[in-house]
Amino acid sequence: MDVESIKLYHYPASRSSRAKWALHETIGDDFEVEIVSLYDGEQFSPDYLAKNPHHNVPTLEIILTNGETKTLLESAAIVCFLADAFPEKNLAPVAHQFSQARANYQQMVFFAAVTIDMMLWQIRIHEHVLADCEADERTATRYRKKFITEVEPPLISRLKQHSYISGNQFSAADIIMGHCVMWAKMYNLCNEGIFNKYLSKLSKRPAFLKAYSDAGEFDPIVPKESRIPGIFNG
């Protein structure tokens, strides 16, 4: 597959930063970034919905020299695709039969991208995204409790045992987990010192610094006028 160009549809500090970080880790700076202004509803334009019917970021477009465009959705899928596409970057243990390292890595990818992301998403939408008529304080409270009792302890235990989330080597799992830990801290979770140490290690990576160079533009609180019942769901 001969690649002509790569374009990421992105919103600062959102889940698309995971894809941006993985791109900087693997291909450097040679890709285009287009901001989708989520709070202005640009993700609902017909042109964007044709690329991404889930009306969200990230969307990754890989334009081939033969004119074809490959479109990839889902931040974790994009991160893992890039990690496997560039094995020389050592971002993922190789998949071979009964590889404990690969299984451990995948466990952390899915724990972050599915279980943790879902809990943080529930907290975020019920506190900062949904219209008043849809927001439910009890849901946010329930997930805050569950996060503290069921997510933080296994993460702390792992980070006490080794330097990164799935071993002593940085991997694509840290790209997703690192984003989740920053998201959690924004919501006053992951307050133990060990999470600060983890983030301080991750944030020394040049690719991290580039991916989050625009993070200051992110305001977690969606303006009231953008909280349209039934559609924008974070």
Size of the site for ligand GSH (CB under 6 A): 15
Strand, coil or helix: what is 30? Answer: coil
Q: Contacts with ligand GSH in 76-95 (CB under 6 A)?
A: 76
Q: Does 122 bind ligand GSH (CB under 6 A)?
A: no
Kindly state the helix (H) or strand (E) to which residue 7 belongs, with its residue range: strand 3-10
Q: Does 65 bind ligand GSH (CB under 6 A)?
A: no
Q: Does 59 bind ligand GSH (CB under 6 A)?
A: no
Site pattern 129..168 for ligand GSH (x: CB under 6 A): ----------------------------------------
**For residues 126 and 222, what is the distance between their CA atoms, to the nearest angstrom?**
11
Tell me phi and psi for residue 30, to 5 degrees: -85, 60
Would you say 7 and 19 are in contact if contact means Cβ atoms under 8 Å apart?
no
Would you say 123 and 186 are in contact if contact means Cβ atoms under 8 Å apart?
no
**For residues 123 and 65, what is the distance between their CA atoms, to the nearest angstrom?**
43
Tell me phi and psi for residue 164, to 5 degrees: -125, 175
Q: Which is nearer to ligand GSH, 167 or 190 (CB)?
A: 190
Binds ligand GSH by CB under 6 A, chosen from 56, 122, 166, 171: 56
Binds ligand GSH by CB under 6 A, chosen from 26, 43, 122, 166: 43
Query: Rule CB under 6 A: which residues touch ligand GSH?
Result: 11, 14-15, 38, 43, 55-58, 74-76, 232-234
